[in-house]
Amino acid sequence: MKAFTPEIEVAIARTRDEVAALHSELVRNGLVAWTGGNVSGRVPGADVFVIKPSGVSYDELSPENMIVCDLDGSIIPDTPGSERAPSSDTAAHAYVYRNMEHVGGVVHTHSPYATAWAARGEAIPCVLTAMADEFGGEIPVGPFAIIGDDSIGRGIVETLSGHRSRAVLMRNHGPFTIGRDARDAVKAAVMLEDVARTVHIARQGGEPLQIPQGAIDSLYDRYQNVYGQHAKAVLP
Amino acid sequence: MKAFTPEIEVAIARTRDEVAALHSELVRNGLVAWTGGNVSGRVPGADVFVIKPSGVSYDELSPENMIVCDLDGSIIPDTPGSERAPSSDTAAHAYVYRNMEHVGGVVHTHSPYATAWAARGEAIPCVLTAMADEFGGEIPVGPFAIIGDDSIGRGIVETLSGHRSRAVLMRNHGPFTIGRDARDAVKAAVMLEDVARTVHIARQGGEPLQIPQGAIDSLYDRYQNVYGQHAKAVLP
Amino acid sequence: MKAFTPEIEVAIARTRDEVAALHSELVRNGLVAWTGGNVSGRVPGADVFVIKPSGVSYDELSPENMIVCDLDGSIIPDTPGSERAPSSDTAAHAYVYRNMEHVGGVVHTHSPYATAWAARGEAIPCVLTAMADEFGGEIPVGPFAIIGDDSIGRGIVETLSGHRSRAVLMRNHGPFTIGRDARDAVKAAVMLEDVARTVHIARQGGEPLQIPQGAIDSLYDRYQNVYGQHAKAVLP
Amino acid sequence: MKAFTPEIEVAIARTRDEVAALHSELVRNGLVAWTGGNVSGRVPGADVFVIKPSGVSYDELSPENMIVCDLDGSIIPDTPGSERAPSSDTAAHAYVYRNMEHVGGVVHTHSPYATAWAARGEAIPCVLTAMADEFGGEIPVGPFAIIGDDSIGRGIVETLSGHRSRAVLMRNHGPFTIGRDARDAVKAAVMLEDVARTVHIARQGGEPLQIPQGAIDSLYDRYQNVYGQHAKAVLP
């Protein structure tokens, strides 16, 4: 068993609790069906992250069956949960953590409205002030990539690097979101589905009105710095 | 600490309870995502209102963390909750209370169907008897306005003054509703989303039929005066 | 207080329980918003029916606050609940009971998909075997009628008399359903919304295929006589 | 009473528990209305299967009222539940078990999005990686067939034999899904509705992008063999 310091052991335990609990938000917000979807969180101060096991029912998820992986996506042996297979999207999560060091959480779902935009390979235009607040503009589309190598992770990183959006619509697949920590990435997944749905509905009845770019910029700036109980760290 | 009379202290406590509890109706009726949305209520007999803190989870809202503000939107110091930041929409709520004295409650959400009409800047036509009952006609659109000054509050007041509707669709943003008290404003938010959805669905299949203006008028009149367990005060 | 026989008192008590409990099915199936919607049930062996009070929250409904009315829609004085106003749709329910003696239950909602068809004044075509089973063909549209006289009740009775359907879409208003008893009318309201939604969705993607009339007839016949744990009484 | 070996009695009891419990997944995932929908499971090692009674509320389903049938769909007399009528779709389930020996579970629903595709008689195109994973390509349409003879069962078997999909959209009727066991068939019903909805929504906004056939093939192959906590048996 790999020797972590006591401080890291505490941080791992806390991340297990947090990641396990956050999965219930995917269910509560209608983002996932059956065992689909996954949340991971980077352990502060260590080169490891915590992720959901593969194909396990949401009712059975607990801190103990979360899986600890290193940044190559390999399971840390002899840790709780290490006897199980991690989420089949683990390689994509690991790629993001290796290449975006400010990212502390990653979420993947097939939430229906966001995935519908992804199926058409169409970015979601920023026609809501809530999108400007949360994502700073449109939600971009990532490339078509199938599981089995680094191509999903690479597609996420290439699309989101230098972009304000914490969400990417992987073509014909579904959304990935990133955040400061796992909770922030889950929030992005929830807000993404909300705006994907609202803009879809809006467009069914005609063309939504544009928001001037200057207004988008100032909404994004204010929200990233002022909203909530304390100013938020801005993602690069 | 500002000295309120004992009667006002009781009224504040009652409004805290009411406003905190009413937030759960936003969740139950699917009007809000994550920490979005807010309810406020004017304290009867005092120039203060009670509003939700900013960016706090719906699960954690309680009477104690509601925030008491004066009609300029400033927090009353040394009251429970005053250490937190109030809803980022507090200035808009305050503007409404300052300028519409018959209003005792204000609600803001990004409920998906109402917000979709707002994204197109399109009023919801009155093609349902339930709309005639509850809103007396179409749901109007308010101007595009961004947070940071009085422009949202002013847009609400200018659109709803002299209008039968207790709901306004702020362009590219979402709905605000007003009411006699916080509960009445929440009811308006729930009914608004219900009619926004039904009229949207109706229009996807063709043109809804018109309701004659005379029928709209008599439905509205009856509902405001007869429905429920007692005649309701009519909003001016 | 009107003197009922002990047997009728027992039947009234049972109907109160049943009608109060059935309202929760309207909520559970997403057919109602806020205090909208109502269920009533005829008391077997007596010329009275039990209905919901007006404008009361679904959480507060109980057998005790249900209201007993005669077939003119007048409250039976000095019975539990008689101090409250009954549903504003009571006159329509009473008209149905007076004029359709085989009807033992009536339900009214503004369920969104059924109401959307009603807003266009368009019958729902029978393109699903489940519709043939349950309704024996299309769901018809009733006239535009506003509250205040017998016109809603008359519209329901005229549309459904001699029709297989237990559901009518009142124009610009919403559905009313009837049944052998209150439970059967609630079932019809639930199944109506289900088929209203499915046929709506089907039509968004193109024209649904027709079902031959002979197949509709034999499905309806079988379902009315064979389905469930015992053969059902056929509505005339 | 037919004499089963003690081992078979244990297997029957286990299948009763499983089939009864799985019905709650239909409700939880929004696939059924009122008493519609049914799940059955083949008892390993015996020529019998367990199915839901007809027209019974989902709240009242329990292991004891599940019904044991032979592969002709006849109730095994003198077993718990045998006094009730089985699901009206029992003949279709039995036909599948008789003719597809690798099938251990069958599910039927009228889930709204899948049924909408069925109403148009239109296959769901494989434009999502999740569809490639789970179904290996498009979801096919089965013939129009009405209850009363073998035609529904025959339509299911003819459509799914030699097809990768575990789901078929019976024309103007709704979906049937099959699986290794009852749980696998329920999973297919849940995933089917999820993709039926997402592809429907995608198409409302334009044409979804195609996935190359080679990518569909490799996604299907990987998912059938690698996903989850152990390699899955591949359906022929």
Tens digits of pLDDT across chain C (236 residues): 568 999 999 999 999 999 999 999 999 999 999 999 999 999 999 999 999 999 999 999 999 999 999 999 999 999 999 999 999 999 999 999 999 999 999 999 999 999 999 999 999 999 999 999 999 999 999 999 988 789 999 999 999 999 999 999 999 999 999 999 999 999 999 999 999 999 999 999 999 999 999 999 999 999 888 666 654 433 43
Q: Per the CB < 8 Å rule, is D172 touching C208?
A: yes
Candidate from D205, D206, D209 with C-beta closest to A172: D209
Contacts within 8 Å (CB) and 24+ apart, C76-81: C76/C2, C76/C48, C77/C1, C77/C2, C78/C1, C78/C2, C79/C1, C79/C2, C79/C12, C80/C16, C81/C53
Candidate from B130, B204, B209 with C-beta closest to C121: B209
Q: Are C163 and C141 in contact (CB under 8 A)?
A: no
Q: What is the pLDDT of residue D233?
A: 39
Q: Which residues of chain D have pLDDT under 70?
A: 1-2, 226-236
Higher pLDDT, A148 or A180: A180
Q: Per the CB < 8 Å rule, is A208 touching B119?
A: yes
Q: Per the CB < 8 Å rule, is B205 touching C113?
A: no
Q: List, in order, residues 6 or more apart from A204 with CB less than 8 Å away.
A: B116, B200, B204, D204
Determine the distance in angstroms separating the CA of A138 from the nearest CA of chain B, rounded to an integer. 14
What whole-number distance in Å separates Cα of residue B18 and Cα of residue A57?
A: 38
Tell me: pLDDT of A188 over 50.
yes
**Is C234 a member of any domain?**
no
Q: Tell me which of D198, D200, D222 to substitute to probe the interface with A (most A C-beta atoms closer than 10 Å).
A: D198
Q: What is the pLDDT of residue B37?
A: 97
Determine the distance in angstroms separating the CA of D113 from the nearest CA of chain A, rounded to an integer. 12
Percent of chain C scoring above 90 in pLDDT: 91
Judging contacts by C-beta atoms under 8 Å, the chain B residues touching residue C121 are 209
**Is B20 a member of any domain?**
yes
**Is A145 a member of any domain?**
yes
Determine the distance in angstroms separating the CA of C48 from the nearest CA of chain D, rounded to an integer. 28
Candidate from D88, D120, D173 with C-beta closest to C205: D120
- The residue segments making up the domain with residue A165 are 6-229
Phi, psi (5° rounding) for residue A229? Answer: -80, -10
Judging contacts by C-beta atoms under 8 Å, the chain D residues touching residue C211 are 144, 172
User: Looking at the DSSP assignment, which residues form a beta bridge with residue B154?
Assistant: none
Residues of C forming the active site: 108, 110, 133, 173, 227
Using the structure block, give the residue that is written with the tokens 């669709």.
Answer: B169
Q: Per the CB < 8 Å rule, is A206 touching B120?
A: yes
Q: Per the CB < 8 Å rule, is C172 touching B127?
A: yes
Total domains in the fold of chain B: 1
Q: Tell me which of C57, C60, C146, C169 to substitute to probe the interface with B (most B C-beta atoms closer than 10 Å).
A: C146
pLDDT tens string, chain B, 236 residues long: the values are: 568 999 999 999 999 999 999 999 999 999 999 999 999 999 999 999 999 999 999 999 999 999 999 999 999 999 999 999 999 999 999 999 999 999 999 999 999 999 999 999 999 999 999 999 999 999 999 999 988 789 999 999 999 999 999 999 999 999 999 999 999 999 999 999 999 999 999 999 999 999 999 999 999 999 888 666 654 433 43
Whole-angstrom Cα Rg for chain C: 18
Tokens at residue A134, please?
């949360």
Quick check: helix, strand or coil at residue A187?
A: helix
Tokens at residue C182, please?
């209150």
Which amino acid, one-letter code, is at A83? Answer: E
Q: What is the pLDDT of residue D236?
A: 37
Catalytic pick from A23, A95, A97, A108?
A108
Which H/E stretch holds residue B12?
Answer: helix B6-28
Strands across the sheet containing C174-179 = C67-70, C48-51, C38-42, C105-108, C174-179, C167-170, C141-142
Catalytic pick from B23, B89, B108, B181?
B108
Judging contacts by C-beta atoms under 8 Å, the chain B residues touching residue C172 are 127-129, 208-209, 211
Catalytic pick from A110, A200, A217, A221?
A110
Q: Tell me which of B146, B199, B200 to substitute to probe the interface with A (most A C-beta atoms closer than 10 Å).
A: B146
Return the number of CB contacts < 8 Å for B and C: 92
The question of whether D93 is a catalytic residue gets the answer no
Q: What is the pLDDT of residue C228?
A: 60
Candidate from C33, C35, C146 with C-beta closest to B129: C146
Q: Where are the alpha helices (DSSP H) in chain D?
A: 6-28, 90-99, 112-120, 129-135, 151-160, 182-204, 213-226
Q: Tell me which of A199, A201, A217, A219 to substitute to probe the interface with B (most B C-beta atoms closer than 10 Å).
A: A201
Q: Per the CB < 8 Å rule, is B129 touching C33?
A: no
Judging contacts by C-beta atoms under 8 Å, the chain D residues touching residue C191 are 33-34
Catalytic pick from D110, D163, D200, D217?
D110
Q: What is the pLDDT of residue D227?
A: 62
Q: Per the CB < 8 Å rule, is D227 touching A54?
A: yes
Tell me which chain C residue has its CA closest to the CA of residue D82.
C229
Catalytic pick from B97, B173, B194, B223?
B173
Judging contacts by C-beta atoms under 8 Å, the chain C residues touching residue B209 are 119-121, 144, 171-172
DSSP state letter for A132: H
Tokens at residue B122, please?
């399109």
Judging contacts by C-beta atoms under 8 Å, the chain B residues touching residue A128 are 110, 115, 119, 172-174
CA A228 to chain CA centroid, nearest Å = 20
Determine the distance in angstroms separating the CA of C5 from the nearest CA of chain B, rounded to an integer. 30
Tell me: pLDDT of A233 over 60.
no
Quick check: helix, strand or coil at residue B58?
A: helix
Closest Cα partner for C213 from C126, C140, C134? Answer: C126
**Is D234 a member of any domain?**
no
Strands across the sheet containing B38-42 = B67-70, B48-51, B38-42, B105-108, B174-179, B167-170, B141-142
Candidate from D204, D222, D229 with C-beta closest to A147: D222
The question of whether D108 is a catalytic residue gets the answer yes
Closest Cα partner for C116 from B165, B209, B212? Answer: B209
Judging contacts by C-beta atoms under 8 Å, the chain B residues touching residue C148 are 218, 222
The question of whether A133 is a catalytic residue gets the answer yes
pLDDT band at A2 (very low <50, low <70, confident <90, very high): low
Judging contacts by C-beta atoms under 8 Å, the chain C residues touching residue B227 are 54-55, 88
Whole-angstrom Cα Rg for chain D: 18
Pairing of strands A141-142, A105-108: unpaired
Q: Per the CB < 8 Å rule, is C229 touching D53?
A: yes
Q: What is the pLDDT of residue A234?
A: 36
Candidate from B129, B204, B209 with C-beta closest to C204: B204
At D48, which CATH number? 3.40.225.10
Whole-angstrom Cα Rg for chain A: 18
Q: What is the pLDDT of residue A146?
A: 86
What whole-number distance in Å separates Cα of residue C149 and Cα of residue C147?
A: 6
- Chain C: touching chains (3 or more CB pairs < 8 Å): B, D
**Is D16 a member of any domain?**
yes
What whole-number distance in Å separates Cα of residue A93 and Cα of residue A70?
A: 11
Tell me which chain B residue has its CA closest to the CA of residue A193.
B33
How many of the other CB atoms lie within 10 Å of CB of C11?
19
The question of whether A173 is a catalytic residue gets the answer yes
Q: What is the mean pLDDT of chain C?
A: 94
**Is A236 a member of any domain?**
no
Tell me which chain D residue has its CA closest to the CA of residue C199.
D116
**Is B178 a member of any domain?**
yes
B227 vs A4, B19, C26, C84, C86, CA distance in Å? 67, 24, 20, 12, 10
User: Looking at the DSSP assignment, which residues form a beta bridge with residue D139?
Assistant: D124
C44 vs B9, B212, C71, D77, CA distance in Å? 53, 40, 13, 37
End-to-end CA distance of chain D: 36
Q: Are D87 and D53 in contact (CB under 8 A)?
A: yes
Return the number of CB contacts < 8 Å for A and D: 92
DSSP string, D128-185: SHHHHHHHSSPBPEEPP--BTBSHHHHHHHHHHTT-S-SEEEETTTEEEEEESSHHHH
Catalytic pick from D17, D133, D217, D221?
D133
Which amino acid, one-letter code, is at A104? Answer: G
What whole-number distance in Å separates Cα of residue C19 and Cα of residue C63?
A: 8
Tell me which chain D residue has its CA closest to the CA of residue C187.
D34
Using the structure block, give the residue that is written with the tokens 């629903």.
Answer: D109
Determine the distance in angstroms separating the CA of B187 from the nearest CA of chain C, rounded to an integer. 7
Q: Per the CB < 8 Å rule, is D120 touching C222?
A: no
Judging contacts by C-beta atoms under 8 Å, the chain A residues touching residue B203 are 205
Judging contacts by C-beta atoms under 8 Å, the chain C residues touching residue D146 are 129, 215, 218-219
Q: Per the CB < 8 Å rule, is A202 touching B33?
A: no
Catalytic pick from B133, B150, B217, B221?
B133
What whole-number distance in Å separates Cα of residue C27 and Cα of residue C20?
A: 12
Which amino acid, one-letter code, is at C164? Answer: R
Closest Cα partner for C40 from C111, C91, C77, C93? Answer: C93
